[in-house]
Amino acid sequence: MDIQAMLQRAYDYGITYIDKGVVANYIPELAKEDKTRVGGAVVDTDGSVYTVGSDQYQFSIQSIVKIIIYLCVLEHYDFDYIQKFIGVKPSAKPFNSILALELSEKNIPVNPFINAGAIVGTSLLFRKYGNNTFEMILKRTQELIGNDKIDYSRSIFNSESSSAFSNRALTYMLLNGKIISPDVNVDDLLNVYFKSCSILVNVADLAQLSFILSRDGKDSAGKQRCNAEHARILRTIMATCGTYDYSGEFAIQIGIPAKSGVGGGIVTASRAGYGIGVYCPGLDAHGNSYVGTRMLEVIAKELSLNIY
């Protein structure tokens, strides 16, 4: 398979949908993104990297960081203990739904990939790392991706922290439900979450993360960057919850575990061992990159990745 030619076909198909999708405008800084900017990257099974489109462009990782936050939680707590704070059930409600939290059993967020679940995950890490929590998450992101230049966007962080009212509401509900410890300072906690969402990546960075997840934690040199069992758990939650309340349709259309972010990125995981990342900031009504999802249709089909 000529991966470069395949990636180009995915791009050519994706951009026919460029008019669809709307940039996330509830975070003012994201509303400035150019929705005609499209990129894709594939790491082949031998570690070679292929890219197409705006491959150098750095965008905010947004919800894709929830994979890394939950991985860090798994690395510090037993899975059974974590279940007391964050479930693993799919959600039929939007990623920032207050209603979903209200309806959930004992106010426990249903999964780690909705905002409430990621905020609780951040609070569990905060218990261990206090004011160094964000530095730990950033360092773990750099290690997993294999890029120590990765940093966060101050402007996106400031923009999100001054506009994310629903995340504040969710956090107070979590405090009220005693899912978050009352000694945690809400601003400190949310600043860690917002900074984590503001981490800047390009499509090749996402493809490297995808490569690790797809290969039970091993990078192309065979180095174990995360535990194989943790990679398996993450792939499973990506399959069931990774594209928000679109996860069922995504499973039918694309058929591989994936996690999207409102910045426009999507990272996948496939047991076939490829690493795949795509980007375009125009989103569908669920918060997934519209063009990115279309590109994945082609990539998954041509590389025979559908797991179902």
* Residue number, 31 or 228, with CB nearest to ligand GLU: 31
CB of 284 to ligand GLU, least distance (A): 12
Q: Which is nearer to ligand GLU, 43 or 170 (CB)?
A: 170
Nearer to ligand GLU, 13 or 246 (CB): 246
Do the Cβ atoms of 21 and 290 come closer than 8 Å? Answer: yes
Amino acid sitting at position 111: N
Phi, psi of 266 (to 5 degrees): -135, 130
The stretches of the chain forming alpha helices (DSSP H) are 3-14, 28-31, 65-76, 79-82, 98-103, 115-129, 133-145, 154-161, 165-176, 186-197, 203-214, 228-241, 247-253, 290-302
Cβ partners under 8 Å of residue 219, min gap 6: 47, 146, 208, 211, 212, 225
Q: Which residues bind ligand GLU (CB under 6 A)?
A: 62-63, 95-96, 115, 160, 164, 167, 197, 261-262, 287
CB-nearer residue toward ligand GLU: 7 or 174: 174
Query: Which of these, 2, 1, 14, lies nearest to 254 by C-alpha position?
Result: 14
CB of 211 to ligand GLU, least distance (A): 21
d(CA 231, CA 160): 29
- Residue among 51 and 115 whose Cβ is closer to ligand GLU: 115
Least gap, CB of 146 to ligand GLU (angstroms): 23
Cα–Cα distance, 174 to 106 (Å, whole number) = 10
The CB-of-272 to ligand GLU minimum distance in angstroms stands at 26
**Minimum CB distance to ligand GLU, residue 229 (Å):** 26
Nearest-CB residue for ligand GLU:
63
How do strand 200-201 and strand 275-279 relate by DSSP bridges? unpaired
Which is closer to ligand GLU, CB of 167 or CB of 268? 167
Q: DSSP assignment, residue 259?
A: E
In the complex with ligand GLU, the residue whose CB is nearer, 217 or 287, is 287
Q: Which is nearer to ligand GLU, 97 or 270 (CB)?
A: 97
Are 108 and 129 contacting, i.e. CB atoms less than 8 angstroms apart? no
Q: How far is the CB of 179 from ligand GLU (least distance, A)?
A: 17
Q: Minimum Å distance from CB 271 to ligand GLU?
A: 25
Stretch (H or E) spanning 279 = strand 275-279
Give the position of tokens 């460029």: 18
Question: Could you tell me what percentage of the chain is helix, strand and coil, using 3-state DSSP and rounding each to the nearest 5?
Answer: 50, 10, 40
CB of 210 to ligand GLU, least distance (A): 17
